[in-house]
Amino acid sequence: MLNPDTHAFLTRLAGRPPVDEALWLEALTHGSTGAARDYQRLEFLGDRVLGMVVAEWLYKLEQGNEGRLSQRLNALVSRTTCAAVARKIGLGQHMQLGKQARDDGGQDSDNILGDVMEALIGASFVTQGFEATRDMVRVLWADAVGGKTGQAKHPKSALQEWAAGNRRKVPEYRLVERSGPDHAARFTVAVTVKGVGEAEATGSSMREAETLAAEEFMRRFG
């Protein structure tokens, strides 16, 4: 069952004591522990619930077209944003990790933090329903939605438009290196625009590395 600190953490998070403690514990449990059940199924569910909550929120909040709303939605439900929310509430110290995963820095891994954050949303949906979960997400994501997350053009789109505007070929991305264990993998990606140059960046996923490489390219050559 949940230890007292984690019980108090989840009570603050959900706004009420956790119902079905075993399910909430499952949401906090990484596969490296060897437990019979880990967070993956709840993460799958929570990902969809988060997308629905944020999509509804943006529909009511903003007047942008589909492309604009999709840009914001993708940024707000991204692993990077989920991990940032998780760090802000101190989720890492409550996650159940195996020794190797913990030694490898899993407690501060974007991949794991983002996944567990989604799993907690899934656990809330199962035990408390949509409305209570929507209220929880709106509190947790208030700063991101109220700020500039997803407001700027995505770096890969900006780079592609820059290349077209300068009569250059489409940017090409390639994986330079993949390192680290699966639960804390690091990807280094290079992006090249023929006749201009190349930039590299490293992230916790291919998508993040490509985005950071595009940002670096624009910083250097844009």
Q: Which residues are marked as active site?
A: 47, 118
Task: Provide the pairing of β-strand 172-179 with 186-193.
Answer: antiparallel
148 backbone dihedrals φ, ψ, rounded to 5°? -105, 10
User: How far apart (Å, rounded) are the C-alpha atoms in residues 195 and 50?
Assistant: 42
Residue of 108, 134, 116 lying closest to 14 (CA atoms): 134
Describe the strand order of the beta sheet including 186-193 as a list of residue ranges.
172-179, 186-193, 197-203
User: How far apart (Å, rounded) are the C-alpha atoms in residues 68 and 220?
Assistant: 27
User: How far apart (Å, rounded) are the C-alpha atoms in residues 90 and 116?
Assistant: 12
Which uninterrupted H or E stretch holds 119? helix 110-128
Mind spelling out the 3-state secondary structure of 161-198? HHHHHCCCCCCEEEEEEEECCHHHCEEEEEEEECCCEE
Q: Amino acid letter at 206?
A: M
